[in-house]
Amino acid sequence: MATKSWGRALISLTSLLTAAGPYKADWNETHVKNPAWPPHAKFHNGQTMSLGLALGVTSLWQLWRAPSSREGLDAGATLASLYWLTQISALAYPGAKAVDPPGTAKFPQAVVAFPALAVTALGYVLERRRLTDQARMLRS
C-alpha cells in the first residue's frame, strides 16, 4: 500500500542536496580546479565530495527500501545529517577556516548546513508521527 510520506520526502530532499551539493559547490576554480591548491588538499576535497554522494545515496536507499521501517527512517535521517554535522564540526580543528584567503566570511556554509539539518529533523518528526499513527491503526 503506497502512503504519502511528507517526512521521508523532506529527508530525501536533504539526501539529494547532500549527494549533489558538494559537486555544485566545489567543482570549480575555487576548489577542485584551483591551481593554487596542493594535490593533497584536492584529494581531501574529492574525498569529501564522494562522501557526500555516498551518504546521500545510502540515505535514500535506507529511507525507501522499507517505507514503514523505523530502522530505515533512523538510518536514513542519520545518514542525511552526517555530512552537515561534520561540516559544522570541521570549524573546531586547529587553524580551520570556512573560506580561503582573501575571503573573510566566517561560515557561509551555514545558510545550507543549518537549514538542511532543520529540514531533516522536521522530516524525522513527521515520519515518526506517521509510523506511530500507522501502528496504532493496525492495532485497532
The residues near 14 (Cβ < 8 Å, ≥ 6 apart) are: 59, 80, 81, 84, 116, 117, 119, 120, 123
Look over the chain and give the mean of its residue pLDDT values, rounded to a whole number.
Answer: 95
Q: Are the beta carbons of 14 and 120 closer than 8 angstroms?
A: yes
- The number of residues in the chain equals 140
Model confidence, pTM? 0.93
> How is residue 6 annotated by DSSP?
H
pLDDT (tens digit per residue) in 1-37: 446 899 999 999 999 999 999 999 999 999 999 999 9
> How is residue 106 annotated by DSSP?
S
**3-class DSSP state of 136:** helix
pLDDT (tens digit per residue) in 57-84: 999 999 999 888 999 999 999 999 999 9
**What does the domain layout of the chain look like in residue ranges?**
6-139
Q: Identify the helix (H) or strand (E) that includes residue 137.
A: helix 110-139
- Residue 1's pLDDT is 42
Stretch 33-43: mean pLDDT: 95
Q: Identify the helix (H) or strand (E) that includes residue 79.
A: helix 70-89
- Residue 100's pLDDT is 87
